[in-house]
Amino acid sequence: MELSPRGRQQAMALADYLHQKRFDAIYASPMLRVQQTLAPLLAKGIAAPAVRQDLREVDFGDWTGLGWEAVRRKFGVSAFTWLDQLEAAAIPGAESAQQLRLRVEPCLEEILARYSGCEVAIACHGGVIRMLLSILLAMPLPAMASFEIEYASVTNVRYLPGRAEVHLLNFTPWRDLNP
């Protein structure tokens, strides 16, 4: 799925915000929306990211492509409980929370080991961001439903061995810098 015109505006605002930041490495999902979100930043001269399949969005199985209301009508469950549904492996044909963690955690561990003490950006998706936070904060995935994760937002976590500090959560340059 491609970015909408609004998504392209959000990507431009994100690029304007991030282009002055220094990153020792950038990792990204291979999915089209992430690549399109990064395009304005790449056009500003930032180094190309290391693309990792492990950072692609959650596979929502039979829910893929359906809106919130369509999920409720077709499956009799609120899509707003999607993290609980992933945790219970209750979405037909979907990746479970356990499978998602088994995919994402080794990638995170590799990045943390390779870039200890460095500034690393990970461009990915809301489900993956929530899993990364779940791992780093040692909290259950369904608890991440309490955190809003917008499109083209920035979450900054400082990682120290055995401890993670959230310094910024869901900062949206396209909204927060344009009152």
Residue 23 domain boundaries: 5-58+101-170
For the segment 9-55, what is each residue's pLDDT rounded down to a tens digit? 999 999 999 998 999 999 999 999 999 999 999 999 999 999 999 99
Is a pLDDT exceeding 70 seen at residue 177?
A: yes
CA 123 – CA 155 distance, rounded (Å): 10
pLDDT at 7: 96
| Pair (79, 132) in one structural domain | no
| Pair (10, 89) in one structural domain | no
Q: Per the domain annotation, does 175 fall within a domain?
A: no
For the segment 55-77, what is each residue's pLDDT rounded down to a tens digit? 999 999 999 999 999 999 999 99
Number of domains in the chain: 2
| Pair (88, 124) in one structural domain | no
| Pair (121, 140) in one structural domain | yes
Handedness of CA 42, 116, 130, 31 (dihedral sign): positive
